[in-house]
Amino acid sequence: MLLEQINQPSDLKRLKVEQLPTLAQEIRQYLIEQLSATGGHLAPNLGVVELTIALHYMYNSPDDKFLFDVGHQAYVHKILTGRKDRFHTLRQYQGLCGFVKRSESEHDVWEAGHSSTSLSAAMGMALARDYKGESNKVVAIIGDGALTGGMAFEALNHIGHEKSNLMVVLNDNEMSIAPNVGAMHNYLSKIRSDRTYVKAKEELEQLLKKIPAIGGKLAKTAERVKDGFKYLVVQGMLFEEFGFTYLGPVDGHDVSKLLETFEQANRVEGPVLVHVMTTKGKGYSPAEADSHKWHGITPYKIESGQVMKAVGNPMYTEVFGNVLMELASQDERIVAVTPAMPGGSGLLKFAEKFPGRMIDVGIAEQHAATMCAALAIEGMKPIFAVYSTFLQRAYDQVVHDICRQDANVIFAIDRAGFVGPDGETHQGVYDIAFMRHIPNMVMMMPKDENELRRMMKTAVDYNEGPISVRYPRINGTGAVIDQELTPIPIGQWEIVRKGDSAAILAIGPMIPVAEEASELLKREGLNIRVINARYIKPLDEEMLLQLAKEHLPMVVLEEACLAGGLGSAVLEFYATHHIFNQIVYPIGVPDYFVEHGSIKEQRAEAGLTAEHLVEEMRALLYSRGDNRLSRA
C-alpha cells in the first residue's frame, strides 16, 4: 500500500508520477472507509483526491501556502500531512477538526469554515510575501460554489489590480451543497461544456508543439496567438478580464494533466487561475449519484450506502419547512430566500410545492438580506432562511437595509446554539448578541416544535417590521402539535414551573435543563420557578418587574454567548429601571470559541447542564444566607 508510506509531503514526492493514480485510489478507499464510521464531508473530499495529491506533489507546503476555501475539502490534505493516524477522531471532541486548523499542522496556513474567504487571504499572503522579499507560492483552492460569494468577487477585483503572483485553483464540480446557481455557474458550465473550445484549444496546442523549438519573438507570438484565440472562441474570458491568466479547463481527476497545467502556471507572471473540472463524490456511487445528500453525511454502510439516521422526533428544521408550507398556502406574499442552503434550511419541499417562491441566491448572505428588505418594502413577506452562523456575514445589511428601514423581513434562524461536529466556525451562539441590540428588531426562540409553529404564525401575522425566530440544530421534543397555530402575544413570556425560592429564565433547549435543575433542587426544599423567556426582544417587562417585586433571585440560562445575550438584556433592564437590588446571574457560552464535538459535550464544556446549574444556584442562594432556605 503506497498510502502506508506517506506521512509527509516529502514521502509523496518520492513516488513516481505513474504511481500517483494508485495512491489516489487508496486514499479514496480510505476516505470511504473512515467516514463510514465518523461521518463528514465525504463528497467534497472524494472530488479533490487527485487535485490535492498533484498540489502537494508539485509544490512545497508549508513554504508554498495552500488556502482551502471553506476548508471542508481538506481531508486529503490532512492525510498527506501527517494526520492519517488521527483520522478516526475526525470532528469528534478534542479530535481532528473537520476544517483546516492551524493548531493541527504547519501545513494548515489558513483556517475557514465560512465560504469565500480564501482569495482575500491569498491576496494578503502574497502581498506579505512580496513585502518581505520572499518567493513562495500562494495557492487558493476555491470551489464553484464559494466563488458565488461576494467576498470572492471583491478579491478577484483587487488581485487583478495588484497583479501579484498567486494561483487560484477553481475546483468546479458544478455543485454548491445543492446544485450551484447563478450567472457565474452558467458561465463556468459553458466553458466546461464548450467542447469546441476545449477541442480547438488542444489542436492549437498540438500545432504549436509541432513548430520546431522556437524561442524569443516567435514563441511570444505563438503564446499571443493562443491567448488571442481564447477571446475568439470564448468571448470575454471573465477571469482574463479580471487580470488573471486563465488555464483550463483541465480534468481534475487526471494527475498528469494537473501537473502539466501547474507547470504551465508556474511559468506565468502575475495571477493565474487554473480551472479544474471534478466530480463531487467521485469514486463512491451513492455520493456521485446524490452529492447534495452526501455533501455532509452521518455514518453509513459502505456496501448499501444506507445512512445511519439519528432516530427521534423531526428536526426543528423539518417542522419549520412544514409550517412554512401551511402558511404559504394561505398567504401568497410569502417567499423563502436561502443563501445556498435549500436542503439544510428545510426548503426543498417548499420549493417543489411553490415553484418560484423559493429563491436560492448562492452563497450570498449580504445580497440575500438586502434583497429581502426590498421584497418586504414592496409588500412581499420574505422569509430569510439562514443559519445563525452564516447570518453573521450580513450584519450590516440587517442594520442598514432591514432594521433601519423597518422592513418586514422574517428571519428563520436555524442552527441557533451549539451545532456539534462543525465546531467553532459554525456555532450559532452570537445571533442574540448581534441582533437584539438593533432598533426595531423582534426576536423569539421556541421551547418546542409546537411553539416554533406558533412563532412562525406570529411572525407572518406581524406587519410592523423585522422579526426573528431562532431554533436549534436538534430533534424536536415530541411536544403535542396543536394545529391551531395560535400566535403568541409579542413580548409575552410563560411560567412553565411555579416556585418562590428563585427563578430560572431560560430559552429553547435550555428549558428542559432548567426544569431538571429545578427538580433536583426541589429535594433540598427549594422551589425554583422556571420561566420560558421566549421573547428575547422585547423582554416581558411586566414579569421582570414582578420578579423584582418578589425579590426573587434569578439565573438567566441561554445556549448563546453570555456577552450581549439575554442575560445581558435582563441586567440592562433592571439597571435602566433603577432596580439595583435584583440578583441576576447570567449563564451562557463563555468568552471563547467552543470547538467541535457533540452538542452534549459542548454544553458540558460550557457549563450548560442541570448539574452545573444546580451548583450555581446553590452557591447563589446559600451564599446569601437566603431566609428562604430556612424552610429547607
Ligand X SMILES: CC(=O)[C@@H](O)[C@H](O)COP(=O)(O)O
Ligand Y SMILES: Cc1ncc(C[n+]2csc(CCOP(=O)(O)OP(=O)(O)O)c2C)c(N)n1
Please give the annotated binding residues for thiamine diphosphate, written as ranges.
Answer: 72, 113-115, 145-146, 173, 284, 365
The contact set with ligand Y (CB under 6 A) reads: 44, 47, 70, 72-73, 114-115, 143-146, 171, 173, 175-177, 280, 295, 339-340, 363, 365, 390, 393
Nearer to ligand X, 275 or 295 (CB): 295
CA–CA separation, 620 vs 608, rounded Å? Answer: 16
Q: Residue count at the site for Mg ion (CB under 5 A)?
A: 5
Residues counted in the chain: 632
Nearer to Mg ion, 280 or 529 (CB): 280
Distances 60 to 47, 267, 484, 552, 566 between C-alpha atoms, Å: 22, 16, 63, 64, 49
Nearer to ligand X, 422 or 449 (CB): 422
Binding residues among 169-208 for Mg ion as defined by CB under 5 A: 173, 175
Q: Which does 73 bind (CB under 5 to 8 A by kind): Mg ion, ligand X, ligand Y, none?
A: ligand Y
Asked if 340 and 149 count as a contact pair (C-beta separation under 8 A), the reply is: no
Q: Which cell numbers hold the place of 393? A: 456575514
Distances 367 to 179, 387, 398, 402, 607 between C-alpha atoms, Å: 19, 15, 11, 12, 37
Is 280 one of the annotated active-site residues of the chain?
Answer: yes
Query: Which of these is catalytic: 50, 111, 174, 365?
Result: 365
Instruction: Give min distance, CB of 173 to Mg ion, in A.
Output: 4
Nearer to ligand X, 320 or 574 (CB): 320
Instruction: Give min distance, CB of 83 to ligand X, in A.
Output: 19
Nearer to Mg ion, 7 or 189 (CB): 189
Query: Which of these is catalytic: 28, 280, 381, 457?
Result: 280
CA–CA separation, 83 vs 171, rounded Å? Answer: 23
Answer for which of 77, 91, 275, 415 binds ligand X (CB under 6 A) is: 415
Distances 144 to 69, 156, 175, 277, 397 between C-alpha atoms, Å: 10, 14, 7, 10, 24
Nearer to ligand X, 262 or 411 (CB): 411
Q: Which cell numbers hold the place of 372? A: 429581502
Q: Which does 296 bind (CB under 5 to 8 A by kind): ligand Y, Mg ion, ligand X, none?
A: ligand X
CA–CA separation, 51 vs 278, rounded Å? Answer: 9
Instruction: Give min distance, CB of 175 to Mg ion, in A.
Output: 4
Asked if 249 and 172 count as a contact pair (C-beta separation under 8 A), the reply is: yes
CA–CA separation, 502 vs 622, rounded Å? Answer: 12
Asked if 65 and 327 count as a contact pair (C-beta separation under 8 A), the reply is: no
Alpha helices (runs of H) in 194-237, residue ranges in sequence order: 195-210, 216-233
Is 224 one of the annotated active-site residues of the chain?
Answer: no
Is 365 one of the annotated active-site residues of the chain?
Answer: yes
Q: Residue count at the site for ligand X (CB under 6 A)?
A: 10
Nearer to ligand Y, 48 or 502 (CB): 48
Query: Which of these is catalytic: 393, 415, 473, 537?
Result: 393
Place of cell 497583479: 163
Asked if 553 and 509 count as a contact pair (C-beta separation under 8 A), the reply is: no
Place of cell 467542447: 195
Residue stretches of the annotated binding site: 72, 113-115, 144-146, 173, 284, 365
Judged by CB under 6 A, the stretch of 187-195, 414-422, 451-459, 523-531 that binds ligand X is 414-422
Nearest Cα neighbor of 431 from 402, 464, 460, 394 is 394
The DSSP 8-state label assigned to residue 315 in this structure reads B
Q: Which does 362 bind (CB under 5 to 8 A by kind): ligand Y, ligand X, Mg ion, none?
A: none
Using DSSP's 3-state secondary structure scheme, residue 3 falls into: helix
Binding residues among 312-351 for ligand X as defined by CB under 6 A: 344
Nearest Cα neighbor of 281 from 24, 20, 32, 21 is 32
Binding residues among 117-156 for Mg ion as defined by CB under 5 A: 143-145
Q: Determine if 422 is a binding residue for ligand X (CB under 6 A).
A: yes
Using DSSP's 3-state secondary structure scheme, residue 307 falls into: strand
Please identify the residue of the shown chain whose CB is closest to the bound ligand X.
344
Q: Which does 473 bind (CB under 5 to 8 A by kind): ligand Y, ligand X, Mg ion, none?
A: ligand X
CB burial of 397-429 (b: ≥16 within 10 Å; e: otherwise) equals bbbebbbebbbbbbbbbbbbbbbbbbbbbbbbb
Q: Which does 340 bind (CB under 5 to 8 A by kind): ligand X, Mg ion, ligand Y, none?
A: ligand Y
Instruction: Give min distance, CB of 431 to ligand Y, in A.
Output: 14
Asked if 453 and 323 count as a contact pair (C-beta separation under 8 A), the reply is: yes
Residue stretches of the annotated binding site for Mg(2+): 144, 173
Binding residues among 440-479 for ligand X as defined by CB under 6 A: 473
Element (H, E) at 334: strand 334-338
Which residues form the interface with Mg ion (CB under 5 A)? 143-145, 173, 175
Instruction: State the catalytic residues.
Output: 280, 365, 393
Q: Which residues bind ligand X (CB under 6 A)?
A: 70, 72, 177, 295-296, 344, 415, 419, 422, 473
